[in-house]
Amino acid sequence: MSHDLFEAARGALAFAHAPYSGFPVGAAIRAEDGRIYAGANIENISFPQGWCAEPTAISQMIMGGAKRIVEIAVIAEKLPLCPPCGGCRQKIAEFATAATPVYLCDETGVKKTFTMAELLPCAFQTELAR
Ligand code: THU
């Protein structure tokens, strides 16, 4: 994984709005256009309305005009390894392939790499998927 993708994920931590959990998360996507799209978790006083760092990064990617996740890095301030939650795995899968690497990072760099197939085996698929 390139250093700039890691730096983008780590840099996103500073933008987290996580006053309720105190658990900032950063994510960064390299998309098929070669650009990097970063995001942080954004919580809400009405707790179920908050969302994770990964969908923030996906939103940035989509609004930047890109459609495919080439690689994605995730980092949490307070956890050495922060695997995407179940819902985020499905959201990432929408724009990734089974082989897309997911880098789990700490503040020093990548600690573990999974493919999407490893994180979301037997993913829901229909003929509607493009
Ligand atoms: N969180 C993420 O941003 N990504 C994940 O994959 C796991 C959890 C956030 C959601 C919430 O704001 C905080 O971490 C504590 O669960």
Domain holding 45, by residue range, is 3-119
Query: How many domains, in total, are found in the chain?
Result: 1
Cβ proximity of 71 and 30 under 8 Å: yes
Q: What is the pLDDT of residues 47-78, one digit of tens each?
A: 999 999 999 999 999 999 999 999 999 999 99
Do 12 and 28 contact (CB within 8 A), yes or no? yes
Is 103 a member of any domain?
yes
Confidence class for position 130, pLDDT limits 50, 70, 90: low
pTM across the whole model: 0.96
Over pLDDT 70: what percentage of the chain? Answer: 99
For residue 42, report the distance from its CA to the centre of ligand 1, in Å.
Answer: 9
Pocket around ligand 1: residues whose beta carbon is below 6 Å from it? 18, 21, 23, 25, 41, 43, 50, 52-54, 84-85, 88
Decide if 52 is inside a domain. Answer: yes
Q: Is residue 126 part of a domain?
A: no
Q: Name the 3-class secondary structure at 3.
A: helix
> Residue 85 is part of a domain; what is its CATH number?
3.40.140.10
In the reported structure, the alpha carbon of residue 3 is separated from the centroid of ligand 1 by a whole-number distance in angstroms of 23
| 70 falls within a domain | yes
